[in-house]
Amino acid sequence: MRRGIAATALVAAMALAATACGGDDGGSGGDKKSGGKLSGTVTYWDTSNEAEKGTYKELALGFEKKHPDVKVNYVNVPFGEALAKFKNAAGSGGSGAPDVLRTEVAWTQDLANIGYLAPLDGTPALADQSDYLPKALAGAKFKGKTYAVPQVIDTLGLFYNKKMLKDAGVQPPKDWTELKAAAKKIKQKTGKTGLYLRGDDAYWYLPFIYGEGGDLLDTGAKKVTIDDEPGIKAFAAARDLVTSKAAETDATDGWDNMQNAIKNGDVAMTINGPWAIEDTLAGKAFKDKSNLGVVPVPAGSKGQGAPQGGQNLTVYAGSKNLDASYAFAQYMSSAEVQAKTTEKLSLLPTRTSVYSNKSVAANPNVKFFKAAVDKAVERPWIPEGNSLFQAILVQFPNVLTGKTSPEKAAKSAGDAYRKLLKGDWK
Amino acid sequence: MAVDTSRPLDPAAGAKGARGRIRNAGTPPRSRIRNALARHWYAWAMVAPVVIVIGLIIGYPLGRGLYLSLTDANEANVERTIGVNHIPATYKNVGLDNFKAILDDQVFWDRLGWTVTWTVCCVALTFSIGLGLAVLLNRRFAGRTLYRSLLILPWAVPAFVSVFAWRLLYNEKNGILNKVLEGGGIDAVPWLNDPTMAKASVIAVNIWLGVPFMLVALLGGLQSIPGELYEAAEMDGASPWQRFRHITLPGLRSVSSTVILLSTIWTFNMFPVIFLLTRGGPGDATEILVTYAYRLSFVNSPRDFAGASAWGVLILLILMLFAVVYRRSLRKQGEVW
Give per-residue pLDDT as tens, B120-143: 999 999 999 999 999 988 888 888
Residue A27: pLDDT band (50, 70, 90) is very low
Residue A2: pLDDT band (50, 70, 90) is very low
Burial B196-205 (b: 16+ CB within 10 A, else e): ebbbebbbbb
Q: Do B302 and A8 touch (CB under 8 A)?
A: no
d(CA B50, CA B56): 10
Contact B273, B159 (CB under 8 A): yes
The radius of gyration of chain A from alpha carbons, rounded to an integer in Å, stands at 23
> What burial class does residue A402 get, using C-beta atoms within 10 Å of its C-beta: 0-12 exposed, 13-18 middle, 19+ buried?
exposed
Contacting residues of B for A119, CB less than 8 Å apart? none
Give per-residue pLDDT as tens, A288-329: 999 999 999 999 999 999 999 999 999 999 888 899 999 999
Largest CA distance in chain A: 78
| Phi, psi of A309, rounded to the nearest 5 degrees | -130, -170
Contact A197, A249 (CB under 8 A): yes
Q: DSSP letter at A271?
A: E
Contact A159, A262 (CB under 8 A): yes
- Concatenated DSSP letters of B215-234: HHHHHHHHHTS-HHHHHHHH
Distance from CA of A344 to the nearest CA of B (A): 30
Cα-based angle B93, B105, A412 (whole degrees, multiple of 5): 120
When scoring B72, B74, B84, B108 by the number of chain A Cβ atoms within 10 A, the one with the most, hence best to mutate, is B84
Give per-residue pLDDT as tens, A366-414: 888 888 888 899 998 898 888 899 889 989 988 998 889 999 999 999 9
Cα A403–chain centre separation: 30
d(CA B300, CA A321): 30
Higher-confidence position of B212 and A33: B212
The answer to whether B164 faces chain A, any CB pair under 8 Å, is: no
Query: Between chain A and chain B, how many beta carbons pairs sit less than 8 Å apart?
Result: 115
Contacting residues of A for B192, CB less than 8 Å apart? 251-252
Q: Do B171 and A257 touch (CB under 8 A)?
A: yes
The answer to whether B278 faces chain A, any CB pair under 8 Å, is: yes
Distance from CA of A316 to the nearest CA of B (A): 9
Please name which of A81, A101, A4, A65 lies closest in space to residue A311, comparing C-alpha atoms.
Answer: A101
d(CA B77, CA A241): 44
Distance from CA of B300 to the nearest CA of A (A): 5
In chain A, the percentage of residues whose pLDDT exceeds 90 is 62
Q: Do A252 and B192 touch (CB under 8 A)?
A: yes
d(CA B132, CA A346): 59
Of B82, B173, B193, the CB nearest to A251: B193
The answer to whether B76 faces chain A, any CB pair under 8 Å, is: yes
| Phi, psi of A223, rounded to the nearest 5 degrees | -130, 140
Residue B26: pLDDT band (50, 70, 90) is low
Q: Do B282 and A397 touch (CB under 8 A)?
A: yes
Contact A359, A74 (CB under 8 A): no
- Evaluate the omega torsion of the peptide bond into residue B282 and state whether it is cis, within 30 degrees of 0: yes
Distance from CA of A348 to the nearest CA of B (A): 28
Q: Do B193 and A8 touch (CB under 8 A)?
A: no
Please name which of A177, A165, A171, A160 lies closest in space to residue A261, comparing C-alpha atoms.
Answer: A160
User: How is the beta sheet containing A40-46 ordered, strand by strand?
Assistant: A70-76, A40-46, A100-104, A308-315, A149-155, A348-349
Please name which of A386, A307, A311, A318 lies closest in space to residue A148, comparing C-alpha atoms.
Answer: A311
Contact A200, A250 (CB under 8 A): yes
What is the sign, positive or negative, of the torsion defined by CA atoms of A410, A416, A421, A422? positive
pLDDT at B12 (0 to 100): 43
Distance from CA of B152 to the nearest CA of A (A): 29
Q: Do A115 and B85 touch (CB under 8 A)?
A: yes
d(CA A129, CA A58): 25
Average pLDDT for residues A199-214, to the nearest whole number?
A: 92
Contact B239, B213 (CB under 8 A): no
Pairing status of strand A70-76 against strand A40-46: parallel
In DSSP terms, which residues pair with A293 in a beta bridge?
A160
Give per-residue pLDDT as tens, B313-334: 999 999 999 999 998 888 887 7
When scoring B197, B301, B304, B311 by the number of chain A Cβ atoms within 10 A, the one with the most, hence best to mutate, is B301
- Evaluate the omega torsion of the peptide bond into residue B29 and state whether it is cis, within 30 degrees of 0: no
Give per-residue pLDDT as tens, B220-274: 999 999 989 999 999 999 999 999 999 999 999 889 988 999 999 999 999 999 9
Q: Do A252 and B278 touch (CB under 8 A)?
A: yes
Residue B337: pLDDT band (50, 70, 90) is low
Q: Do B193 and A116 touch (CB under 8 A)?
A: no
pLDDT at B6 (0 to 100): 41
**Residue type, position B103, single letter:** L
Average pLDDT for residues A255-259, to the nearest whole number?
A: 92
Higher-confidence position of B1 and A275: A275
pLDDT at B336 (0 to 100): 57
The radius of gyration of chain B from alpha carbons, rounded to an integer in Å, stands at 27
Give per-residue pLDDT as tens, B284-313: 889 999 999 998 888 887 888 999 999 999
Q: Do B76 and A114 touch (CB under 8 A)?
A: yes
Q: Do B279 and A386 touch (CB under 8 A)?
A: no
Distance from CA of B282 to the nearest CA of A (A): 5
Q: Do B279 and A252 touch (CB under 8 A)?
A: yes
| Phi, psi of A263, rounded to the nearest 5 degrees | -70, -35
Of A114, A260, A397, the CB nearest to B75: A114
Three-class secondary structure of residue A307 per DSSP: strand
Say which range, A18-27, A29-38, A231-240, has the weakest mean pLDDT: A18-27
Three-class secondary structure of residue B8 per DSSP: coil
Say which range, A98-112, A371-385, B14-28, B125-139, has the weakest mean pLDDT: B14-28
Of A11, A110, A396, the CB nearest to B301: A110
Residue A179 half-sphere exposure toward CB, CA atoms < 13 A = 31
pLDDT at A283 (0 to 100): 93
Between the alpha carbon of residue A392 and those of residues A386, B146, B330, the distances in Å are 11, 49, 46
Distance from CA of A147 to the nearest CA of B (A): 15
